[in-house]
Amino acid sequence: MVLLERASELDRADPIAAYRDEFIIEDDFVYLDGNSLGRLPKRTIERIRTVVEKEWAHELVLGWEHWLDLGVEIGDRLAPIIGASPGEVALCDQTSVNLYKVASAGLTHSGRTDIITDRGNFPSDRYVLEGVATSAGGTLIFAPEDPSPKVIESLMTDSVGLVSLSHVGYRSGRMLDAPAITAAAHAGGALMLWDLAHSAGAVPVKLNEWGADLAVGCTYKYLNAGPGAPGFLFVRESLIGAIQQPISGWYAHADQFAMAEEFVPKAGIGRFVVGTPPIVSMVGADEGIQLTAEAGMASLRTKSLALTDFFIEALDQLDPPDVELVTPRNHEARGSQVTVRHTEAYRISLALRRDGVIPDFRAPDLVRFGFTPLYTTFSEAAMAATHLDQIVRTGSYTEFDETRRGVT
């Protein structure tokens, strides 16, 4: 009870609590999986309705007069959130496709063949990067999960042309030292590519300040763009005209509707867009991005740290048996999720869902709790910690078998 009372006090004092009203909220469960799929902003419903019922329904093909460059326009609105400049970001395709495009372009530009990533990187990243390195006649070199700058420095060779890492680890929630790792990559003569899937909209990102060369990310997590919404890519301004992405789609042509026989790329970031964008989901991303910008990354980071601090302190106080904290306590190394380890993590995650708390499970033994400061409350954090403790202490997770579902 003391825990819930303290949470209520923090909720009343929360300076950005009003943003929760911007979202569709179901009061019968606690949602802590915004690090997989964010909630639906109310304004997104109206924006999509406008696109479908007015623009598509009545303008039909004429709608392309104002849809044509939407990905670059939204990219400019996203740019400040990730510390980029206008003209360096485009909303397009999916994260894996964007990763392939910029990784291939970057490695080719380097004149080298090898890529460094880490063993804990998201599987799609590892698969794509291995393909890119193999196609170049090189090797994908693996650092340990969540590597330090010194580890990256130790792996650099004259064959390494690209270092590609996730800024915040999807498993641990650990945030890497981006400026120092970027400097280590550059010192070894390689380009630096950051995956911002668990960073954009969750933690301060300063691509230009770090000296980053390339970046990719998704919009459906902390940016609340909706399921399957397009991803984004970043290319440092000085590289835009110097590198050539490998998929020469018509959308990247300098004179798109000339239907020319030869491909001539656009001059700006638009040269990295491949095909016709999904306008309906793209406008959903636009609303989520604008909502994040309104709240401000400084305020969001302050609340994110307060939420995760509170949750970790609650776990310390409750001390559920055999539950190990994986996410760093250190603010400088923590994203906006808290991951715990338990040998029965899968069944515990099912028991939490039964009790109205939605986290997610990552094999073999991790439960992740995502804290999205735009809508997550301290009371929800308290309830999640309490339920976790009760489930582990009572062993109620044994009511579930170990058969894995399709989505965990």
Token pair 């793209």 is at which residue? Answer: 282
Q: For every residue of the chain, which 3-state class applies, written as one string? A: CHHHHHHHHHHHHCCCHHHHHHECCCCCCEECCCCCCCCCEHHHHHHHHHHHHHHHHHHHHHHHHHHCCHHHHHHHHHHHHHCCCCCCEEECCCHHHHHHHHHHHHHHHHCCCEEEEECCCCHHHHHHHHHHHHHCCCCEEEECCCCCHHHHHHHCCCCEEEEEEECECCCCCEECCHHHHHHHHHHCCCEEEEECCCCCCCCCCCHHHHCCCEEEECCCCCCCCCCCCCCEEEECHHHHCCCCCCCCCHHHECCHHHCCCCCCECCCHHHHCCCCCCHHHHHHHHHHHHHHHHHCHHHHHHHHHHHHHHHHHHHHHHCCCCCEECCCCCHHHECCEEEEECCCHHHHHHHHHHCCEECEEECCCEEEEECCCCCCCHHHHHHHHHHHHHHHHHCHHHHCCCCCCCCC
Euclidean distance between the first and the last CA atom of the chain, given in angstroms as a whole number: 31
- Chain position carrying tokens 């390195």: 133
Report the catalytic residues: 122, 195, 220-221, 368
